[in-house]
């Protein structure tokens, strides 16, 4: 098991390094001159060829890409000082570049944005899971009845409304019209846990309820299947109470496929939920990345891509570990 985790961590790291190379190459050979956005930002869109050339030279864009990637990678490990336009900035390890706009190390910004996204993701995914699986199990146990039908129809209807609409309406309704949840937004948990909670509860609810709909349908199907298994009949024939049959024997088996989509969804949440962050004013990765894309703030854009890839790699590993805990037939070697 331990050896397996080490092996997976190493292969995960390789994937992340390969992606960082890909991102770096895109940065370099992308459709735009990488120094141009910075030049535009610095000169308020009055970048002249002479300035651009100086920028390019200072930032090493006339150097070889391999050499520059080496410098970048070294910066991640030990830090470096980085030329940005005409000035030079200190970029301590792990250096992911300097924000074109704020001129701050991207890593430092990431450490303030990521907790917001992580908080949102943890709360929302917990909601997804508990609500979605709970309703799914209920529907499965009552399958064929009006309870089942209305739960399934309801979740289908809700999920057919685009998320941004749900989020916008919820924000308008609860925050603006009703004046509930006034402090929606992100407040670091380390400063004031109560405020952290109050600020996130509405986005959690909206993301959680909307997102739970797919879990409802998925876990209902999975649960109906596992309730029909022979071993469930065995469990009943032993004289176990229905509660144990459903929640211990059937749910355990039904969770295996649910864990797979949960892993994917959690990775997506960690990469930043653009709509939720924008609508609820949460300064997270999603909003940060979106803002960066609009002004071609390339160091930030490439960092958000890296974060997303780490999130996918990490949640895949987590899913596989959960599998092995759930199902003893899955041997991790």
Among 29, 46, 179, 230, contact with other proteins (rule: CB under 8 A): 230
* Residues 107, 113: Cα–Cα separation, whole Å: 10
Among 164, 173, 231, 247, contact with other proteins (rule: CB under 8 A): 231
User: Shortest gap between Cβ of 232 and other proteins (angstroms)?
Assistant: 8
List of residues 6+ apart from 80 with CB closer than 8 A: 71, 74, 91, 95
Nearest to 226 by CA among 196, 264, 256: 256
Tokens 């496929």 — which residue?
A: 257
Asked if 246 touches other proteins (CB under 8 A), the answer is: no
- Determine contact, residues 280/167, Cβ cutoff 8 Å: yes
Asked if 242 touches other proteins (CB under 8 A), the answer is: yes
Three-state DSSP at 255 gives helix
User: Shortest gap between Cβ of 216 and other proteins (angstroms)?
Assistant: 22
How far from the centroid of its chain's Cα atoms is residue 314's Cα?
11
Tokens 């999920």 — which residue?
A: 159
Among 88, 102, 111, 234, contact with other proteins (rule: CB under 8 A): 234
For other proteins, give the closer residue by CB, 41 or 251.
Answer: 251
Among 180, 233, 247, 264, contact with other proteins (rule: CB under 8 A): 233
- What DSSP line would sit under 101-139, residue for residue? TT-SBHHHHHHHHHHHHHHHHHHHHHHHHHHHHHHHHHH
User: Shortest gap between Cβ of 267 and other proteins (angstroms)?
Assistant: 25
Asked if 133 touches other proteins (CB under 8 A), the answer is: no
Asked if 236 touches other proteins (CB under 8 A), the answer is: yes
Asked if 7 touches other proteins (CB under 8 A), the answer is: no
Residues 134 to 153 in contact with other proteins, rule: CB under 8 A:
144
* Residues 105, 103: Cα–Cα separation, whole Å: 7
Among 191, 237, 294, 333, contact with other proteins (rule: CB under 8 A): 237
Binding marks (x or -) toward other proteins, 247..266, rule CB under 8 A? --x--xx-------------
Residues that bind other proteins (CB under 8 A): 144, 229-231, 233-242, 249, 252-253, 326-329
């Amino acid at each position: 098991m331990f050896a397996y985790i080490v092996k997976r961590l190493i292969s995960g790291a390789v994937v992340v390094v390969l992606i960082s190379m890909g991102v770096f190459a895109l940065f370099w050979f992308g459709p735009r001159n990488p120094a141009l956005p910075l030049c535009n930002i610095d000169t308020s869109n009055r970048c002249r060829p002479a300035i651009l050339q100086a920028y390019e030279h200072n930032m090493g864009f006339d150097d070889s890409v391999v050499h520059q990637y080496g410098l970048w990678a070294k910066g991640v490990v030990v830090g470096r000082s980085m030329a940005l336009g005409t000035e030079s900035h200190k970029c301590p390890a792990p250096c992911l570049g300097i924000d074109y706009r704020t001129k701050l190390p991207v890593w430092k910004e990431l450490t303030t944005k990521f907790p917001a996204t992580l908080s949102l993701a943890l709360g929302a995914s917990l909601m997804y899971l508990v609500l979605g699986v709970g309703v799914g199990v209920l529907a499965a146990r009552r399958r064929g009845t009006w309870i089942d039908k209305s739960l399934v129809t309801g979740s289908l209807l809700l999920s057919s409304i685009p998320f941004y609409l749900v989020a916008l309406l919820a924000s308008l309704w609860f925050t603006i019209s009703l004046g509930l949840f006034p402090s929606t937004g992100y407040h670091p948990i380390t400063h004031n846990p109560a405020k952290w909670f109050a600020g996130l509860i509405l986005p959690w609810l909206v993301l959680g309820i909307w997102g739970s709909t797919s879990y409802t349908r998925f876990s209902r199907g999975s649960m109906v299947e596992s309730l029909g298994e022979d071993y469930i009949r065995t469990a009943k024939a032993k004289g176990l109470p229905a509660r144990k049959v459903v929640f211990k024997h059937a749910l355990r088996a039904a969770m295996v496929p649910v864990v797979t989509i949960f892993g994917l969804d959690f990775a997506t949440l960690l990469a930043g939920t653009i709509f939720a962050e924008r609508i609820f004013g949460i300064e997270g990765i999603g909003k940060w990345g979106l803002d960066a894309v609009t002004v071609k703030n390339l160091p930030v854009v490439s960092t958000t891509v890296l974060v997303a890839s780490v999130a996918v790699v990490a949640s895949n590993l987590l899913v596989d570990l959960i599998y092995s805990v759930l199902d003893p037939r899955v041997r991790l070697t």
